[in-house]
Amino acid sequence: MSDKTTLPKRRAPLSQLLQPDLEPAPPVVEGTIGAKITVTIDGIETKVPLGTTILEAAKSIGVKIPTLCYHPDLEIAGICRICVVEVEGQRTLQAACAYPITDPIRINTYSRAVRLARRNVLDLILSEHCGDCYSCMKNGNCELQSLAEEYGVDEFRFGHLEVPVPVDDSSYSVVRDMNKCIRCRRCVRTCIDLQEVGVYEAVNRSNRVSIETFLDKPLLTVPCINCGQCINRCPTGALYAKPALHAVWKAIDDPAKHVIIQTAPSPRAAMGEMFGLEPGTTVTYQMNTALKRMGFEHVFDTNFTADLTIIEEGTELILRLYKALVQGDTSVALPQFTSCSPGWVKYAEHFWPEFIPNLSTAKSPQQMFGALIKTYYAEKMGLDPASVVSVALMPCSAKKFECNRPEMNDSGYKDVDFGLTTRELGSMFRQAGLHVPTMPKSDFDDPFGGATGSGLIFGATGGVMESALRTVLELVTGRKLETIYEHGDIIPVRGFEGVRYAELTIDEVGPVPSILAHLVPDWEWLRGATLKVAIAHGTANARKVMEDIKAGGHFSKCHFVEFMACPGGCLGGGGQPIPTSKEIRSARARAIYGEEKTLDVRKSFENPAVVRIYEEFLTDGPCGHKSHELLHTGYIDRGKFIE
């Protein structure tokens, strides 16, 4: 609901404002909230809360008003004008997305004037859109294409864009084809308002307006964090994730190559959407079958390395705490930050480089898997690592950048060859005629086996924190987690609020398990300690927490903070099916937590494959020499300006 008195979110640095005062706005007067107002839409009367937009009111009675610049996750722009409607008594048409209802108005959503205006607006948009639908990444899932169909566009009345400008494919993750751009500014608002990164801005006036990066530099050379949230909200094919599917097909087709794939939990909770299933329908095991049929030798579960990440990252946290609290080492950086979201990592590298020491050195699950595939797995299978092609199915566009980071070759080869998005794999399935929802089910392959629930919930915001806490609490207390939390669910860290904070007190301690015996002598120093943790998802929320930490506030007292670049966590990633909305992301989260409940092993250190790898391969234990070589990494101070 849009409150008629709220100030839209600001987009420019405060220093740029002419601001004689900046005291916060007084709270909205009591009594106005919750008041209802009668509105008549196309002859139908309905009551809506004061301030509801015409668009929302129409939706509530089943009337669909077309939109283009509107997106439920974003600030209202009201600029495409496709949603105009007639409000009785007003000379001009009104943008339904932006018009708050504060009087008992009468609205017509499809009068002749409205239909003519919409058709004209559509024809104008098409005149600057290079719409070669059949050669477009968004063919079949394009909001503009659907509208053209809906409004019976049969000619380009006002012409058609012919002369293409070069496509910017400099980035490893996000491709920008401005020939398809309709200036709706959803990407601008996503980047500035939603993510508070701000690499795009509308420049120039009039029909010379274009959406550009700073000085129109290639995306690779500006502080883009590759989160791909702009891709998820682009109504046309102007933004898409850099495709890897052709290279993957080529590898599959090459008999000399041994192609394996790891699949992350979030795409499995969303792949169904690529086949028209309701959001929140999990197709994990059907997908395993389809992937094998498609030609992957083996299908592995990224949850395995998610568990490994938890062990390594959890151990790192214990070590940091031990050094700081027991050994009095003041150089230890706390709170420790998670580092499994490559968008967040790059965000931190650009905007908070002074906090790089706080980032866990543990690699992300994708990259840990990559390093193990071409070492442990190749060795075990007697394969030449050079012939192994390692593919990762991720909900994420930043994973494409991550696997191309030059330092990610600790196996002696490129650890992960290709990152595929959920969308890309969806089209590969379709190309192969594989209807995933109706496939028989099959399990993941050894030697990495099935997963624990701990790894699975990595997909949702708070998941990494919950997994880490499950492991740390049990290792330290020696008690079954279920005796501390019902079903072992650590509810305080779950949820969708942008920033969450929780405290957990360690009442008793147990013996140090053998796996950690070489690192700490006992747990006495943790007896009675209160573990303070925080969670932030979406970089706008991350910024809030970081600003607080920098100012020495509340969050600087935390021990461990989970950061995810994308709203909702990985399940809202930039490689997930389009469209996205709060409801869709919640449905995916429910699917993930639902699947997790069905798993027997829900703690990382109980995962038999994890136990085995420390016995067989990483024999000097978590954070040991070998794991440092393969499973840990470093970061780069990138700053905001790139040459």
Partner 1 sequence: MSTSIKSSTNELTFASVPAADGLNKALALSRVDIIDAIHESKLKGRGGAGFPTGTKWNLAAAETRTPKYMICNADEGEPGTFKDRVILTEFPDLVFDGMTIGARAIGASLGLLYLRAEYGYLHEHLENVVARRRKTGLLGRDIAGIEGFNYDVLIAMGAGAYVCGEETALIESLEGFRGEPRNRPPFPVVSGFLGRPSVINNVETLAWVACIFSKGVEWFRSYGTGASAGHKLFSISGDCEHPGVYEFPFGITVAKLLKEVGGEDAKAVQVGGASGRCVPRSEFERRLAFEDVPTGGSIVVFGPDRDMRAIAHNILDFFVDESCGQCTPCRLGNPKLLQGVEMLQEGTCSLQYLNDLKGLARTMQVASKCGLGQTSSVAFMSILEHFENEVLGRKPLL
Provide the 8-state DSSP code for 369: H
Nearer to partner 1, 152 or 433 (CB): 152
* Catalytic residue chosen out of the listed positions 171, 173, 339, 360: 360
| Rg of the chain in Å (alpha carbons) | 26
Least distance in angstroms from the C-beta of 202 to partner 1: 7
Catalytic residue, from 379, 407, 482, 486: name it. 407
CB of 98 to partner 1, least distance (A): 4
Q: Which residues contact 331 (CB under 8 A, 6 or more apart)?
A: none
- Nearest Cα to Cα of residue 321 among 311, 310, 333, 312: 333
Between β-strands 258-263 and 388-394, what pairing exists: parallel, antiparallel or unpaired? parallel
To the query of whether residue 316 is one of the catalytic residues in this protein, the response is: yes
- Candidates 494, 10, 561, 490; CA nearest to 553 is 561
- Respond yes or no: is residue 570 known to be catalytic: yes
Strand 336-337 to strand 94-95: parallel, antiparallel, or no bridges (unpaired)? Answer: unpaired
Q: Which is nearer to partner 1, 99 or 352 (CB)?
A: 99
| List 196, 316, 474, 595, catalytic entry | 316
Task: Quote the least distance from Cβ 11 to partner 1, whole Å.
Answer: 7
Minimum distance, C-beta of residue 110 to partner 1, in the bound complex (Å): 14
- Cβ-contact 235, 246 below 8 angstroms: no
Residue among 424, 437, 431, 414 nearest 394 (CA): 424
Residue among 242, 346, 399, 400 flagged as catalytic? 399
Q: Can you name the residues that pair with 100 across neighbouring β-strands?
A: 53
CB of 162 to partner 1, least distance (A): 15
Which lies closer to partner 1 via its Cβ, residue 83 or residue 630? Answer: 83
Using the minimum distance from each CB to partner 1, give the nearer residue, 102 or 438: 102
Q: Which of 184, 340, 558, 623 is catalytic?
A: 340
Name residue 211's beta-bridge partners: 202
Binding site for partner 1 (CB under 8 A): 4-8, 10-12, 16-21, 25-26, 29, 76-82, 84, 91-93, 95, 98-100, 102, 113, 116-117, 120-121, 124-125, 127-128, 157-158, 183, 202, 204-209
DSSP codes of every residue in 244-287: -HHHHHHHHH-TT-EEEEEE-HHHHTTGGGGGTPPTT---HHHH
Residue 467 designated active-site: no
Nearer to partner 1, 25 or 256 (CB): 25
Q: How far is CA 484 from CA 34, 236, 489, 594, 617, in A?
A: 41, 49, 9, 21, 33
Residue 505 phi/psi, 5-degree rounding, is -95, 135
Closest residue by Cα to residue 39 from 102, 110, 123? 102
| Minimal distance, residue 36 CB to partner 1, in Å | 18
CA distance 222 to 224: 6
Select from 503, 459, 455 the least CA-distant residue to 602: 455
Kindly report the backbone phi and psi dihedral angles of residue 187, in degrees, each rounded to the nearest multiple of 5, phi listed first.
Answer: -65, -40
Smallest distance from partner 1 to CB 199, Å: 16
**Is 643 one of the catalytic residues?**
no
What secondary structure letter does DSSP report for 205?
Answer: S
313 belongs to the catalytic site? yes
Specify the residue, 20 or 255, whose C-beta has the smaller distance to partner 1. 20
Nearer to partner 1, 82 or 290 (CB): 82
CA angle 41, 45, 51 (to 5 degrees): 70
Residue 193 C-beta: closest distance to partner 1, Å? 13
Give me the catalytic one of 56, 312, 402, 474. Answer: 402
The nearer residue to partner 1, 127 or 409, going by C-beta atoms, is 127
Which one, 92 or 146, has the nearer CB to partner 1? 92
Token code pair at residue 499 = 């920033």
CB 209, min distance to partner 1, A: 3
Amino acid identity, position 598:
T
SS (H, E, C) 480-519: CHHHCCHHHCCHHHCCCCCEEEEEEECCCCCCCCHHHCCC
- Kindly tell me which of 12 and 551 has the beta carbon lying closer to partner 1: 12
CB atoms within 10 A of CB 629: 13
Q: What angle do CA 424, 341, 242 make, to 5 degrees?
A: 30
Cβ at position 84, least distance to partner 1 in Å: 5
398: number of Cβ within 10 Å: 31
Of the listed 313, 349, 595, 596, which one is catalytic?
A: 313
Catalytic residue among 570, 603, 604, 627: 570
Active site residue 162: no
- List, by residue number, the catalytic residues: 313, 316, 340, 360, 399, 402, 407, 570
